[in-house]
Structure 1
Amino acid sequence: MVSTFHGLELGRRGLTAGQASIATTGHNIANANTKGYSRQQVNNVTAQPLDTWTTGNVNPGQLGSGVSVESITRVRDHFLDRQYRDQSGTLGQWQAKQATFDQLETVINEPSDTGLNAAMDRLQGAWQDLANDPASPSAQAVVKERGQAFLEVAESMDVSMGAVLSDIERQTNAAVSDATEYLKQIDALNQSIKRTGTQANDLLDQRDAAVEQLSKLATISVIEDKGMYTISLNGTAVVKGTAGEETATTAEPDVAALLRSSTGGKLKGLADSKILAENQRTAVANIVSDFASANGIKEEDGSKGNLFIQNEDGSLEVNRSGDRLTVPENLETDLEPIKKSYQALVSELGAKSQSATSSIANYEATLQATDNRRQSVTGVSLDEEMANLIKFQHAYSAAARLVSTTDQMLDTIINRMAAR
């Protein structure tokens, strides 16, 4: 037997579903420009039907009882999310390397009139002038001044490269600190989601945003289990998320070590940059040492301590105590391969920097394409939401009309029929 008030219950459920849909649409519209927000949708299902006897069939028929709001969920594509995180980490790695290339190119400053190559050319030119007039005091003085200028440029480059290495270390420490904070944030959100339920859409968005920021810094593995995230670095779980256990992070020193040994992301780029800067610094130092050795001749008296360029306690210095310098034998032959080595070093750095720039452009385009595909799924379209708003408004109005009509029917049955 169908209840007399069945129509009112149908209308009430329709009003509830329409109200939930309108409210969710409004939530989407309000967050259309919120970074990291995922479009939400109301998932309706047919309510449990009622059995009722019908003629012509020994089995009871089923009378619909309206609609039920099953859930309100985010619209996400986990495959695109994983692809975005991987590409974001690769881009972060190359951006860190490119920043180091830019710094090293600024330090080397070639080609220029103030770089090491120009200082070597000027010293070599001073020797040629001295060869043309060996007795000239001014030519003697110019050689010493050019030698001092060469050493000053070399020392300045070495100090600047040391500063680049220090900056890389500071960036690494900051990135490790940021990544650790993101891990703590993800862990805290895991716990909040477990308490609230797996339909805590706004908390889920915050957690995904933190995971994306973390993926830019290091290569991570994300495994979802009943709404909880387990984050692993190099195969080691640093955030454990399961529905039946308390989440926990590993000890911070272990996390820091795992982050520094990451196989991707900004931290990998910084680790590669450190090796690159150290190798560049060593290579330049070797070239400077070889060039100084080729110029470090003895004076006419043959005194062993009176070298033009001396190594004093690990520091190269011009010996200004002597009055007469003689041009080294085979100077041109000795200097030519050293200068070519330096030019090759500069060219190699430029080629690597250009390659990094091209890689960044390619990865940025790929990441943008992936993000566009992802936004087409999870992003909020105001045009679509406005169309939905009109649709849900009509559904709500229709449900309200059903309630009004049913009320009139009941009024007729209860009040008017009784009056007769």
Structure 2
Amino acid sequence: MSGLFGTLNIGKSGIFANQRAIDVTGHNIANTKTPGYSRQRAEMQTRRPFCTPSMNNAAEPGQLGTGVEISQIARIRDSFLDYQIRVEMGTQGRYQGRDKFLREIEGVFNEPSETGLSTLFGKFFDAWHQFSKQPETSNTRTMVAEQSKALASELNHTYSQLNKIKGNAQDIIKQKVFDVNNIINQVNQLNQEIIQISVAGNNPNDLMDRRDYLLDQLSSNFGITIDKKDFNAIELNTKEDKEAGSPKGANLVQVIDPDNVARFAYIQDIQAQKDDKGNPTGKYDIVYYKNGDTTTESNRVVIKDVELTDEQKKEMDECRVLWTDKSGNLLKKDGGAVNADKDGISGIKFSDIALFKPSSGEFKGYMSVQQDVDGYIDRTNNLAKGLALAVNTLHGQTTDSSKDDLPFFVNKDGQENGIDASNIVVNKEIMDNPMKIKGSKLDVPPSGESDGKRALAIAGLRDVLMGIQNINSNMSREDFINKFCGGLKENEYGIKVLNGTTDGMKVDNYFKDMVDTLGIQEQEARRMVKNQSDLLNTFTQSRASVSGVSLDEEMTNLVQFQHAYVANSKIISTVDELLDVIVNGLKR
């Protein structure tokens, strides 16, 4: 088409195109502060031209333009920057989780301070040393009893607080499981909507922004792998993370059969089974909740009679997350789903269970810090048990080598066996009557005792090298003394004392090493959080320079499109005047 009507259509196309460009600019300005929004751009192209030349008509060579049109509303996004940011968010999430709880562990140990364990250990040994100087007075005995009680109470409190920290980490994991499943469900729903709109030939820019924003959130929790498909679709999985324990062929989001996907469940409890005599059988009932939703008992599933070693039980306790299908049925490592009946699930081995153990993200941080907490609990138990066994060895000695009398430290049941930081107490007999504390070489101190040699030997335990680090929960006093303390020897006063071992540690040094290790771990976590924050800021700024909305740029574009709109309106106005001349002027 040529002539004035063709020019009229060109002006009309210019008006419509610039109006659309103004709409896009307004949309950008309105979403300046919208999280995850990517700048959009109306891309213009010439419309199909009108071909005039032919064999019979060469008077108007070439093609006549027919105006402009919007080819697409483009979304300005750099996928490589998205990838970099998500990788670094996973690393940052891991160390943020660790930093949060390592700080809490530091608060529990509270070192150095006047009320921490190191100070109480010092006061404990000082009380025994003072007792050795004044064994005839009751005040020094009372001081020994009270300082020992304070030390035992602080060990109890430390154990309790460490377990609370571990419980808090597990509570966060439980909430994270629920939140992550919801995010994945939203991504899946958005994925289906994006496919439908893209198949129709449109660009679902805002939906894709929302999906990318959710993927950013997801990447801070664990490492994700995104496979791009046709029609702007994606598939989401963890296949690049070999530690995540992903069941064979499991996708979190997929295009084909979008309901046949994996999700996560939270292990609420690991219940040990016992025989008729109350002894552990080595089998456990594992209770998990579908999708991490603990608000209703209908989501509760029990995996029965699972045989676990101590290490496997510990691994499951620290992880707490299982792979399931979308309905919450347990996924085995080979990819098969196990449906639960009304009594739960039976016949499952630990090797069949797919635990979710990502190598990055907040999940990794909360899981790894539980390993640290378990380590500090074990070390605190070793400290309590080692101290108790060493003190009891010296305090309970009698002139009859076949007898052992009045252990100083016991557990809350009054027994020496099974002492750890959770239950160590001073023997009730001693607390009721501090005069029963033995400070002399003799078995039972007579009234007005003047011999403080035994008390001096107990005070000397401060400097004895003991293999505290090698203690286990079932170790007897005899094994500890003979294997890890170098056995017994008589000192110059005729009291059997620990010989010491070159590969052992002093009590003070053992605790100091614990605190130093904790400090190094916290410094590393804090340093990594700062480094990752700086790195993420760099990547985020780079992405903002590409995808972010600049108000100055948008205002410039707005003025540009406004002038173009006005100019095209002037073309239409001019054509209108020319048509008026032709139509109405010819009559005159």
2:28 and 2:358 map into 1 onto residues whose CA distance is 37
1:253 and 1:80 map into 2 onto residues whose CA distance is 28
- Contact kept, 8 Å, 1:239 with 1:248, in 2: the verdict is no
The CA deviation string for residues 309-362 of structure 1, in whole angstroms up to 9 with x for no partner, is 124353322124252422135424327712101101101111111121111111
Q: 1:282 Cα shift?
A: 0.5
User: In the alignment, which of 408, 422, 438 is matched to residue 308 of structure 1?
Assistant: 408
- One-letter code of the match for 2:76? V
Structure 1 residue 43 corresponds to structure 2 residue 108 = no
User: In the alignment, which of 341, 345, 348 is matched to residue 517 of structure 2?
Assistant: 348
Match of 1:10 in 2: 10
- Contact kept, 8 Å, 1:298 with 1:307, in 2: the verdict is yes
Q: 1:307 Cα shift?
A: 1.2
User: In the alignment, which of 183, 206, 209 is matched to residue 205 of structure 1?
Assistant: 209
1:69 and 1:304 map into 2 onto residues whose CA distance is 95
Match of 2:501 in 1: none
Match of 1:265 in 2: 361
The CA deviation string for residues 69-123 of structure 1, in whole angstroms up to 9 with x for no partner, is 1111211111111111111111000000111110110111111111111111111
User: In the alignment, which of 285, 288, 309 is matched to residue 384 of structure 2?
Assistant: 288
Shift in alpha-carbon separation, 1:6–1:47, aligned structure 2, 3 A: same
Shift in alpha-carbon separation, 1:111–1:184, aligned structure 2, 3 A: same
- One-letter code of the match for 1:14? G
Q: Secondary structure at the match of 1:42?
A: strand
- Contact kept, 8 Å, 2:40 with 2:76, in 1: the verdict is yes
2:57 and 2:554 map into 1 onto residues whose CA distance is 46
Match of 2:464 in 1: 334
Structure 1 residue 317 corresponds to structure 2 residue 330 = no
- Contact kept, 8 Å, 2:29 with 2:551, in 1: the verdict is yes
- Worse-matched range after superposition: 198-207 or 245-254: 245-254
- Worse-matched range after superposition: 153-162 or 404-413: 404-413
Unaligned runs of 5+ in 1: none
The CA deviation string for residues 208-235 of structure 1, in whole angstroms up to 9 with x for no partner, is 1111000000100112213012111235
- Worse-matched range after superposition: 164-173 or 325-334: 325-334
- Worse-matched range after superposition: 201-210 or 2-11: 2-11
Q: 1:263 Cα shift?
A: 1.7
- Number of aligned residues: 417
1:3 and 1:98 map into 2 onto residues whose CA distance is 74
- Contact kept, 8 Å, 1:299 with 1:324, in 2: the verdict is no
Mapping for residues 127-276 of structure 1, pairs under 5 Å:
127-197=128-198, 199-225=203-229, 226-234=231-239, 237-242=250-255, 245=256, 247-248=258-259, 250-253=261-264, 257-258=322-323, 260-276=356-372
- One-letter code of the match for 2:356? R
- Worse-matched range after superposition: 213-222 or 256-265: 256-265
Q: 1:268 Cα shift?
A: 0.9
Q: 1:34 Cα shift?
A: 1.2
Match of 2:534 in 1: 365
Q: 1:378 Cα shift?
A: 0.6
Structure 1 residue 87 corresponds to structure 2 residue 88 = yes
1:278 and 1:234 map into 2 onto residues whose CA distance is 29
- Contact kept, 8 Å, 2:22 with 2:558, in 1: the verdict is yes
Q: 1:46 Cα shift?
A: 1.0
What RMSD over aligned residues (CA atoms) do the two structures have, in Å? 2.2
1:234 and 1:241 map into 2 onto residues whose CA distance is 13
Q: 1:57 Cα shift?
A: 5.8
Match of 1:22 in 2: 22
Q: Secondary structure at the match of 1:260?
A: coil
1:3 and 1:138 map into 2 onto residues whose CA distance is 118
2:177 and 2:397 map into 1 onto residues whose CA distance is 59
1:253 and 1:15 map into 2 onto residues whose CA distance is 53
Q: 1:12 Cα shift?
A: 1.0
Unaligned runs of 5+ in 2: 241-248, 266-290, 292-320, 324-354, 431-435, 440-454, 466-504
- One-letter code of the match for 1:238? N
Mapping for residues 58-69 of structure 1, pairs under 5 Å:
61-69=62-70
Q: Secondary structure at the match of 2:259?
A: strand
Shift in alpha-carbon separation, 1:395–1:147, aligned structure 2, 3 A: same
1:291 and 1:373 map into 2 onto residues whose CA distance is 57
2:437 and 2:222 map into 1 onto residues whose CA distance is 60
The CA deviation string for residues 16-40 of structure 1, in whole angstroms up to 9 with x for no partner, is 1100011111111111111111111
The CA deviation string for residues 36-72 of structure 1, in whole angstroms up to 9 with x for no partner, is 1111110111110110128996995211111111111
The CA deviation string for residues 363-415 of structure 1, in whole angstroms up to 9 with x for no partner, is 10000010001001111111111000000000001111111111111222222
1:252 and 1:375 map into 2 onto residues whose CA distance is 32
- One-letter code of the match for 1:229? I
- Worse-matched range after superposition: 100-109 or 287-296: 287-296
The CA deviation string for residues 186-242 of structure 1, in whole angstroms up to 9 with x for no partner, is 001111212233511111111111110000001001122130121112355534444
1:292 and 1:7 map into 2 onto residues whose CA distance is 100
2:142 and 2:251 map into 1 onto residues whose CA distance is 65
1:276 and 1:270 map into 2 onto residues whose CA distance is 10
- Worse-matched range after superposition: 257-266 or 401-410: 257-266
> Which one has a larger percent helix, Structure 1 or Structure 2?
1
Q: Secondary structure at the match of 2:251?
A: strand
Identical amino acids, percent of aligned pairs: 30
Structure 1 residue 278 corresponds to structure 2 residue 374 = yes
- Contact kept, 8 Å, 2:250 with 2:262, in 1: the verdict is no
Match of 2:472 in 1: none
**Normalised TM-score (structure 2):** 0.67
